[in-house]
């Protein structure tokens, strides 16, 4: 019945015809083995790329083998920037691969076809990118958000803008991607909660978007750019103020990857982005850095919060499964995820049956690049900044 319901939802949710799939024999489960499917954008133009998340999870798989006999069998799947393929691969993971848990590293809407399919699938689906609240239903739900909620991110950015006295004029830009739409809506709602009128949103993808952004940036005291920094291409460098100017602050997305920051070169001195306070502390831990952080830095450079959350996703699944390796099934994994607190690299995750956003809000911080080209926590506004 669950498979039939999944197929029905896919027929409704996909814009393109669903190809027919011949039934295949169900694979035999190995004892003490958890099947995990990971759905990422490993090709296509959609940002952020899933490459850093896959690299982080591969580091998790390359760790020294634990003393437990429990094993995670992880399958990486490229959804190639396609929402239709994301739905199809979620169905395939549950029905064909008999996944016990699924990790999704792309932005998804909280009330669209994806959420409907995920609920019918009845396996824990761990989202590494910000997703809207609520993440749980009357019976607990199956979606688990590892990133902070968009409302939490919006509150942090709005508070800093207000504290620094750079509310107006403001440039608010969006690339109209699912992640950007979530961020923009949450930020506008937060401004409204504070009694602040939201500025008109400039769509970066519009024909006149780049010109409007450059014009608005000439007078803006702050610029909030919703969506991955990679979507803005070469726009950020021209709108960054000169050192002699009254320095405005450019707020980037939680979806920002460290490669995006490096590409900004000297303009990176004027950008701020939301990230993990714990991850910054780990990066600056010297010889005491966690194994993941040290390994990632050595191979790829500094990890983003997205990469660290992907690493944490496998830790969460393993921790839940290890509580009783002889009883590994999606329903029990969900119950254990809801009942335990797990210390990750990015945050200390705590879920409950009625709250499936596990990121601790105190671990969210606004970050900047320091002179060593390393992430640092943005100092609070001084009185003279107001």
Which tens digits make up the pLDDT trace of 10-63?
Answer: 444 554 444 444 444 445 567 789 999 999 999 998 989 999 999 999 999 998
Q: Does residue 7 surpass a pLDDT of 50?
A: no
CB 151 within 8 A of CB 195: no
- Domains of the chain (ranges plus CATH)? 2-22+31-148+294-361 (3.40.50.2300), 150-275+365-385 (3.40.50.2300)
Which tens digits make up the pLDDT trace of 350-381?
Answer: 999 888 999 999 999 999 987 667 889 998 88
CB 44 within 8 A of CB 80: yes
The C-alpha torsion from 105 through 106 and 111 to 117, rounded to 10°, is: -60
The Cα–Cα gap between 339 and 140 comes to: 11
The Cα–Cα gap between 298 and 367 comes to: 21
Q: What is the pLDDT of residue 29?
A: 62
Q: Does residue 68 surpass a pLDDT of 80?
A: no
Q: What is the pLDDT of residue 243?
A: 47
Percent of residues, the chain, with pLDDT higher than 70: 84
The Cα–Cα gap between 382 and 373 comes to: 23
Bridge partners (DSSP) listed for residue 145: 127, 357
Q: What is the pLDDT of residue 231?
A: 81
The Cα–Cα gap between 228 and 239 comes to: 17
Q: What is the pLDDT of residue 2?
A: 54
Candidates 122, 124, 137; CA nearest to 337 is: 124
The Cα–Cα gap between 94 and 100 comes to: 8
98 or 373: whose pLDDT is higher? 98
Which tens digits make up the pLDDT trace of 312-355?
Answer: 999 999 999 998 877 888 999 999 999 999 999 999 999 998 88
Q: Does residue 5 surpass a pLDDT of 80?
A: no
Q: Which DSSP symbol is given to 195?
A: T
Which tens digits make up the pLDDT trace of 223-281?
Answer: 999 999 888 877 887 777 654 344 568 999 999 998 888 778 777 888 899 999 999 99
């Amino acid at each position: 019945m669950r498979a039939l319901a999944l197929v029905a939802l896919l027929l409704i949710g996909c814009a393109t015809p669903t190809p027919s799939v011949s039934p295949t024999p169900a694979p035999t489960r190995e004892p003490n083995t958890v099947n995990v499917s990971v759905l990422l954008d490993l090709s296509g133009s959609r940002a952020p790329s899933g490459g850093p998340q896959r690299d982080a999870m591969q580091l998790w798989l390359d760790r020294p083998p634990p003393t437990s006999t429990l094993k995670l069998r992880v399958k990486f799947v490229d959804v190639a920037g396609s929402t239709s393929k994301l739905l199809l691969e979620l169905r395939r993971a549950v029905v064909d691969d008999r996944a016990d848990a699924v990790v999704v590293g792309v932005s998804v809407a909280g009330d669209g076809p994806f959420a409907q399919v995920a609920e019918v699938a009845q396996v824990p689906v761990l989202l590494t990118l910000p997703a809207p609240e609520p993440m749980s239903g009357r019976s607990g739900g199956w979606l688990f958000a590892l990133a902070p909620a968009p409302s939490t991110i919006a509150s942090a950015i709005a508070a800093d803008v207000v504290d620094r006295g750079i509310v107006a004029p403001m440039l608010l830009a969006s690339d109209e991607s699912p992640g950007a739409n979530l961020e923009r809506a949450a930020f506008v709602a937060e401004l409204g909660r504070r009694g602040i009128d939201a500025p008109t949103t400039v769509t970066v993808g519009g024909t006149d978007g780049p010109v409007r952004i450059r014009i608005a940036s000439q007078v803006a005291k702050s610029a909030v750019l919703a969506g991955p920094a990679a979507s803005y291409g070469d726009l950020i460098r021209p709108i960054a103020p000169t050192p002699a100017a009254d320095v405005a602050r450019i707020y980037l997305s939680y979806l920002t990857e460290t490669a995006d920051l490096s590409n900004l070169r000297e303009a990176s001195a004027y950008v701020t982005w939301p990230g993990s306070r714990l991850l910054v502390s780990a990066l600056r831990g010297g010889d005491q850095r966690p194994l993941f952080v040290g390994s990632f830095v050595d191979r790829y450079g500094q990890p983003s919060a997205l990469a660290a959350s992907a690493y944490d996703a496998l830790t969460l699944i393993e921790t839940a499964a290890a509580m009783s390796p002889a009883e590994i099934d999606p329903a029990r994994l969900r119950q254990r995820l809801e009942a335990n607190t797990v210390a990750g690299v990015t945050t200390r995750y705590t879920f409950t049956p009625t709250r499936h956003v596990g990121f601790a809000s105190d671990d969210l911080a606004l970050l900047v690049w320091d002179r060593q080209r390393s992430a640092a926590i943005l100092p609070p506004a001084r009185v003279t900044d107001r």
